[in-house]
Every structure is written in structure tokens, then in C-alpha cells.
Amino acid sequence: MTRAASLVAVSVLLWSLGHGASAQSPSGPLVLDAAQLWDFAESLERQGEHYRAVTEYKRLAYFFPDSAEAGRAQLRIAVALLRGGEPGQAAAHLESLRATGALPERADDLRYLLALARLERGRERPYPLRLEGIESALQELGQIGADWPGRARTEGFVQAMTHRPELPEKSPLLAGTLSALLPGAGSFYAGRYAEGSLAFFVNAVLIYATVNSFQRDQIPAGTVFGALALVFYGGSIYAAVNGAHKFNDRAQSGYLEEQRVTYGIVVTPAGGVAAAFGRDF
């Protein structure tokens, strides 16, 4: 076969492959409706792909704002963000919806989700630093209407938090004072026994070393041991005060989480954000 014939054969083969592919390709662009986008977003959410689901819910709400699924998609954005560990973004989204006057018929759903986002936000922070958000969440829950399906549970939670029983508490001032009088005593008072034992032992050793060095006229060594003793003495006071604060934080945060579980005000991996109500958004 000559070179020219080979080129012709290759050209014919390429044309036939291209023609076959074009014959099998779709005749037009893929068209999705609101229901199909909803199903796709829901499938992503069920698989735990929360951020991809958020994108599809947003796409649905943008391209099909008048569809039956659009309003629910706006709430599902918040649900997906909550389940994806982004309560701050969920709260911002819900606050934006409220500011624009969107979903007036779903006002109680929005209040519940916003309260949940505020309870979730900053859970790693000390309780006093979360107090503003917690109080704001209780206010939202208290405004939910009587005919909302989960009203009995939200009302019970609000009552439990606003009429909280007296919780065990340690005084940071007393803890610091005790450790100032006897290193480690404040940590024992705060229930941190290993920390208190270590503080007492280290301070006792350093004080003994300081006194012994000066008695032997070892001034440089005594100065070093004395400086270390002062550092550890101050550290034992700080540790005791901090231990009392942590004790109080554990008691307050523990009570909050216990009540949230009791009344179902939680984010669950599989059951949505209101599984205890037999409801999802």
C-alpha cells in the first residue's frame, strides 16, 4: 500500500469513528427540573456529602425559585451545614433568610434551626463565652408557636435551662487562696488530685533546696532554686484557679448537653436535626 493510500484509509477510519460517536451522542443538552435536582441533592446528603448537597440545594433555589421544592431547599441548606459541622455558616444563612423576609410560612422551622445553630456554635469554648449564644437560642425556641410539632420538647428544654437546678460549683478565689497558703491545696479542692500532688511535691522540693543552699552559703544555687520555687508557687496558684473554672465549665456544659439530649435538641448524623420530633426539614 502506498503512502497516499494509507493516508486515505486513516482519514476514512477517523471519519467513520467520528460519525459513529456523533450518531450516539445526545441530540441536545441535558435538562433537569426542580424535582430531579431535589432528588440529587437529597442523595448527596444521605451519603454524607453535605457540602456538595449544599451546592445542589442552592442551585435548585436559584434556578427554580417558584418551585415547590425551593423553600424547603433553603432550609435543607442549613441542615446540611449543621450536619457538616458548620453551625456558623448555617446561622448566617438562616439570618439572611430572615432578613429578606423569606419563608414566612416556615417561620417556626427557621427559629428552631437558628436556635440549634447557635447552640452548636463554639461548643469547644468555655461556657461563659457561649452564654450569649445560648440565651439567644433559648429566646428563639421560646417564640416557636404552640402548633409546631416539636413545641412540647422545645418548651421543656427552655424550662429546664431557665429554671436550672443548683449545680456543683468551685470558687476560683478560694482555690487560689488555698494554693497560696499551701501549694496544691487549691487543686485538691477543685478535684484535680494528680495536679495538686505534683504541685505540692515540686514546691516542697524547691523550697527545701532553696533553704538548704542558703544554709550552706551556696548563694548562686539558692538564688536559682528560689527563683524556680517562686515560679512554681505562682504556677500552682494559677493552676488551682484554672482548675476551678474548668470544674464549673464541665458542670454547666454537661447540664446543657444532657438537656439537649433529653429533649432532642441535637444534630444527628443519620436522623437530621429533629429526629426526636419525628420530623425533618
Give 271's pLDDT tier (boundaries 50, 70, 90).
low
Q: In whole angstroms, give the CA distance from residue 262 to residue 62.
A: 38
Q: What is the longest distance spanned by two Cα atoms in the chain? A: 111
According to the model, what pLDDT value does residue 11 have?
Answer: 44
pLDDT exceeds cutoff 90 at 248: yes
How confident is the model over 40-85, as pLDDT tens digits?
Answer: 999 999 899 999 999 999 999 999 999 989 999 999 999 999 999 9
DSSP letter string over 73-108? HHHHHHHHHHHTT-HHHHHHHHHHHHHTT--GGGHH
Give me the percent of the chain exceeding a pLDDT of 90.
70
Average pLDDT rounded to a whole number, residues 28-48: 86
How confident is the model over 157-170, as pLDDT tens digits?
Answer: 999 999 999 999 99
Give me the percent of the chain exceeding a pLDDT of 70.
87
Q: pTM for the whole thing?
A: 0.80
According to the model, what pLDDT value does residue 31 have?
Answer: 66
122: left (phi over 0), alpha (psi -120 to 50) or beta: left
On average, the pLDDT of the chain sits at 87
How confident is the model over 102-117, as pLDDT tens digits?
Answer: 899 999 999 999 999 9
Give 220's pLDDT tier (boundaries 50, 70, 90).
confident
Structure-model confidence comparison of residues 76 and 272, the more confident one = 76
Q: Are 126 and 249 in contact (CB under 8 A)?
A: yes
Instruction: Name residue 141's amino acid.
Output: L
Q: In whole angstroms, give the CA distance from residue 171 to residue 124.
A: 22
pLDDT exceeds cutoff 80 at 238: yes
Q: Quick check: helix, strand or coil at residue 20? A: helix
Least confident of 133-142, 207-216, 267-276: 267-276
How confident is the model over 88-103, as pLDDT tens digits?
Answer: 999 999 999 999 998 9
